[in-house]
């Protein structure tokens, strides 16, 4: 005889008790699962996108300098690099060449083209992201055709396909040599897309940004923190919007679950009376009700989380696409790298499983404290 056996016996009885009210409990579990699924999808999605964004921005330089012409971004003269480098406190200044290429030959994909600092291949060879290769149905050593700025078609040999640490970072990326990039887009030799720089003392970032703006009035320095803040605000806002949309269904569920959990039917009261009359203690009845609430809420929670995980990471959050996606620089058909934030999942657990289980126990406690002789008069 042991406490474990006792719990097992009570759990066995709880499960057969749940099966007795199959329809009701199945409906409850279904709705519960659906709510956890929706909330968890929103949380997982926002969290994964933020993680992707932080990966993108991990190696971003402290300041990016863009040139604006009539309020639009224009090419930056390469001579600006030396002028910025002359500002005290600035280190590692370099011009970058990057841009977008709309590929209508393969279903209208939008690629990001970039010239990396160090590129191990000769002109005529490119390195592509996994999605680019998949989308264009190409492999290493295949030729990938591009329509140049002058209307001619140029083929570049694929030298390598990038590993997918972060799909968002590399999925749509194409790396190429500087001469190839310039000739493809027709960018003059003395101009770059933007300039990036590092600052020795992080406290000085704002001051240096001001100095650059004063020295080169046609430029716009963008500080990394601003980008991070923007990303964060955009994704937090979108997740919040989604949760606001879901708030109605969550509230409806809370009312439904509260009503289901707190109200005891005459049949349930009778059952509690019988259990007490045949020798169950109040504590045993509460243990049974605890297991009942825990089985329903825990299985719904786990099912909801598993479905949300599959929805977000395997089905690209199809249901939420219209609301939460659409960030212009995101690849339109990217797949998020699976990541789960334990504290957020724990918070979700505590706002779903715990209240429901407690709500199940309270009315049973009231019913279980009555004298068992009531059962003699049923």
Partner 1 sequence: MIEIVEVRKVFNAGRHNEYTALAGVSCSIASGQVTVFKGPSGSGKTTLLSIVGCMARPTSGRVVLAGRDITSLPERFLTEVRRRKFGFVFQQFNLIKGITALENVMLPAYPLGERRAALEARALGLFELLCIADRAREKAELLSGGEMQRVAIARALINTPETVIADEPTAHLDSRLSREFMEIVGRLKREGKTTIIASHDPLVYESEIVDRVISVRDGKIEPGDP
Strands annotated E in 33-83: 63-69, 72-74, 76-77
Residue number, 269 or 335, with CB nearest to partner 1: 269
210 binds partner 1 (CB under 8 A): no
The footprint of partner 1 on residues 233-272 (CB under 8 A) is: 270-271
Give the interface segment with partner 1, choosing from 68-76, 97-105, 278-286, 319-327 (CB under 8 A): 278-286
Left if phi > 0, otherwise alpha if psi is -120 to 50, otherwise beta: which for 182? Answer: alpha
Q: Compute the least distance from the CB of residue 1 to partner 1, in Å.
A: 4
Cα separation values, 147 from 102, 154, 179, 193, Å: 9, 6, 16, 20
Give the contacts of 147 (CB within 8 A, at least 6 positions apart): 153
CA angle, 353 as apex, 351 and 355 as ends, to 5°? Answer: 65
Q: Does 20 bind partner 1 (CB under 8 A)?
A: yes
The rounded distance, in Å, linking the Cα atoms of 48 and 50 is: 5
Beta bridge partners of 191: 77
Question: Exactly one of 281, 310, 315, 321 binds partner 1 (CB under 8 A); which one?
Answer: 281
Name which of 176 and 375 has its Cβ closer to partner 1: 375
Which segment (1-9, 82-90, 156-164, 314-322) binds partner 1 by CB under 8 A? 1-9
Query: According to CB under 8 A, which residues from 358 to 377 bind partner 1?
Result: 371-373, 375-377
Question: Between 211 and 270, whose beta carbon lies closer to partner 1?
Answer: 270
Q: How many CB atoms lie within 10 A of CB 66?
A: 16
Contact 49, 336 (CB under 8 A): yes
Residue found under tokens 């019913």: 367
**Interface with partner 1 includes 78 (CB under 8 A)?**
no
Cβ–Cβ < 8 Å for 106, 136: yes
CA dist., res. 10 & res. 6, Å (int): 6
We find the least distance from the C-beta atom of residue 8 to partner 1, in angstroms, to be 7
User: What letter would DSSP give residue 259?
Assistant: H
24 is a contact residue toward partner 1 (CB under 8 A): no
Minimal distance, residue 338 CB to partner 1, in Å: 40
Stretch that binds partner 1, among 178-186, 277-285, 298-306, 328-336 (CB under 8 A): 277-285
By C-beta, is 3 or 137 nearer to partner 1?
3
280 contacts partner 1 (rule: CB under 8 A): yes
Binding site for partner 1 (CB under 8 A): 1-6, 8-10, 12-13, 16-17, 19-21, 270-271, 274-282, 284, 371-373, 375-378
């Amino acid at each position: 005889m042991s406490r474990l056996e006792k719990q097992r016996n009570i759990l066995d009885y709880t499960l057969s008790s749940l099966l007795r009210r199959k329809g009701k409990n199945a409906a409850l579990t279904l709705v519960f699962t659906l709510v956890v699924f929706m909330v968890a999808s929103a949380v997982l999605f926002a969290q994964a996108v933020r993680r992707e964004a932080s990966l993108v921005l991990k190696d971003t330089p402290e300041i990016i300098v863009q040139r604006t012409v009539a309020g639009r971004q224009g090419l930056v003269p390469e001579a600006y690099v030396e002028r910025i480098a002359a500002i005290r406190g600035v280190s590692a200044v370099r011009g970058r060449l990057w841009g977008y290429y709309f590929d209508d030959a393969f279903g209208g994909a939008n690629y990001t083209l970039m010239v990396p600092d160090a590129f191990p291949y000769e002109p005529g060879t490119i390195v592509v992201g996994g999605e680019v290769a998949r989308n264009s149905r190409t492999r290493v050593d295949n030729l990938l055709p591009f329509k140049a700025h002058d209307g001619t078609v140029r083929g570049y040999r694929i030298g390598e396909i990038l590993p997918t640490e972060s799909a968002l970072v590399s999925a749509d990326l194409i790396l190429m040599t500087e001469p190839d990039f310039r000739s493809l887009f027709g960018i003059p030799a003395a101009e770059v897309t933007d300039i990036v720089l590092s600052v020795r003392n992080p406290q000085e970032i704002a001051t240096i940004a001001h100095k650059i703006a004063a020295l080169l009035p046609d430029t716009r320095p963008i500080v990394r923190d601003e980008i991070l803040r923007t990303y964060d605000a955009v994704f937090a806002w979108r997740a919040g919007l989604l949760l606001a949309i879901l708030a109605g269904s969550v509230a409806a569920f809370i009312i439904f679950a509260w009503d289901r959990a707190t109200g005891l039917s005459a049949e349930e009261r009778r059952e509690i009376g019988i259990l007490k009359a045949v020798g169950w203690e109040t504590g045993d009845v509460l243990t049974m009700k605890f297991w009942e609430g825990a089985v329903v809420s825990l299985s719904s929670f786990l099912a909801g989380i598993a479905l949300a995980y599959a929805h977000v990471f395997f089905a690209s959050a199809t249901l939420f696409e219209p609301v939460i996606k659409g960030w212009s620089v995101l690849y339109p058909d990217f797949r998020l790298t699976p990541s789960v934030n334990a504290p957020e999942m724990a918070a979700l657990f505590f706002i779903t499983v715990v209240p429901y289980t407690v709500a199940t126990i309270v009315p049973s406690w009231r019913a279980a404290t009555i004298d068992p002789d009531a059962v003699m008069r049923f």
